[in-house]
Homo-oligomer: A and B are copies of this chain.
Amino acid sequence: MFEQLGLIGCGLMGGSFARALKRAGLVNRVVGYSKSPSTTERARQLGVIDVEAPSALLAVAGADIVLVAVPVAATEATLKAIKHLVTPQMLIMDVGSTKADVVQAARTALRDQIGSFVPAHPIAGREVSGVEHSDPDLYTGKQVILTPTERTLTAHLDRAEELWTALGCRVSRMSPEAHDAAFAAVSHLPHMLAFAMMNGLTQQERADELLSLAGPGFRDFTRIAASDPKMWRDVLLANRDEVLAQSRHFQAALHQLEHAIQGNDDQALEDLITLASHTRANWRMGAQRKRKDDL
């Protein structure tokens, strides 16, 4: 399907994409670049990439598909660095967790070449990072949201959809703004809460003793707190307004629970927990929406 992948950022997300494409026989050659030369070298040693490029620009040379898998805050500089070798035939995607800022960065950096760019967000990840943890199955069975700009070429958008589908993903399309509002609620907020949970514990005197007593519920609840700090710093800042709005929704719900507890109102408390419990028990990851909507 593709001749050469130019991979910029050979970490968990980028490395997993390259391995998935290779395994599916969808690309013949992967030329990779990471900011850290040791990462690029490690990616080649692991067979994740075939050729090390000395720069982002040279990773793009001769590629018919490019994946930019860098922290979202580095998107604009990366796209600027490769702009001179971008061709109209080239499909360029990213994997960032925020999309309005990425689209804005692409407009600024790519200008007339923006038709090649298909912003993508695969709903996949792990709490560890680095090419050592890359996994050709990271994206299998996951959702991928494409958020085309108004100037993205339809042909590229369709090829992107076809590609992710071939990797076993379920693909949907949203506007960048609707994407960011939704993921503030279901991804960015939970991460922020998990960070706050850990810090609220750590800042107590007996933190070590408390942590030694924690069990499986705590383990799962806080798993995402181990996520990459720089990546999540960028995500929370890039989507600041939506994240803070979702935090207000959460705190209102928390105060309802606290109010019922303070007032010893067992019926109100049971009703609130029942609402949460039923909603969660009936949720299935990746289930179809009940109605098609203008998210």
Q: What is the interface of chain A, defined by CB distance below 8 A to chain B?
A: 123-125, 127, 142-143, 145, 182-183, 185-187, 189-204, 206-230, 232-233, 236-237, 240, 243-244, 246-247, 249-254, 256-258, 261-262, 264, 266, 269-270, 272-277, 279-281, 283, 285-291, 293, 295
- Give Cα distance in the complex from A273 to B230, angstroms: 8
What residue in chain B is nearest A174 (Cβ atoms)? B213
A217 and B125 contact, Cβ closer than 8 Å, known pairs A200-B252, A270-B229 = yes
Contact of A257 among B190, B196, B219 (CB under 8 A): B196
Instruction: Give every chain B residue within 8 A of A198 (Cβ-Cβ).
Output: 275-277, 279-280
- A237, B262: Cα distance in complex, Å: 8
Q: Are A273 and B190 in contact (CB under 8 A)?
A: no
Can you report 29 A-B residue pairs in the complex whose CB atoms are below 8 A from each other? A123-B213, A123-B215, A123-B216, A142-B216, A189-B200, A193-B254, A195-B253, A195-B257, A195-B272, A195-B273, A196-B251, A196-B254, A196-B256, A197-B253, A197-B276, A198-B279, A199-B275, A200-B253, A203-B252, A207-B279, A211-B279, A211-B283, A212-B289, A217-B223, A220-B224, A230-B270, A232-B273, A244-B258, A251-B254
User: For the complex, what is the distance from the CA of A246 to the CA of B201, rounded to whole Å?
Assistant: 8
B293 and A209: CB pair below 8 A? yes
In the bound complex, what is the Cα–Cα distance between A192 and B273 (angstroms)?
A: 8
A195 adjacent to B276 (CB under 8 Å): yes
In whole angstroms, what is the CA distance A240 to B263 when docked? 10
How far is B218's CA from A125's CA once the two chains are assembled, in angstroms? 12
Roughly how many angstroms separate A288 CA and B213 CA in the complex, as a whole number?
9
Question: Which B residues are in CB contact (< 8 Å) with A190?
Answer: 197, 217-218, 221-222
A225 to B273, CA, bound (A): 8
**CA A197 to CA B225, docked complex, whole Å:** 15
Complex CA gap A246/B216 in Å reads: 19
Complex: A195 Cα to B275 Cα, angstroms:
8
Residues of B within 8 A of A197 (CB): 189-190, 193, 250, 253, 276
In the complex, the answer to whether B215 meets A143 with C-beta atoms within 8 Å is yes
A214: nearest chain-B partner, CB-CB: B186
CA distance A280 to B220 in the complex (A): 11
Say which residue of B145, B213, B237, B262 sits within 8 Å of A240 (CB atoms).
B262
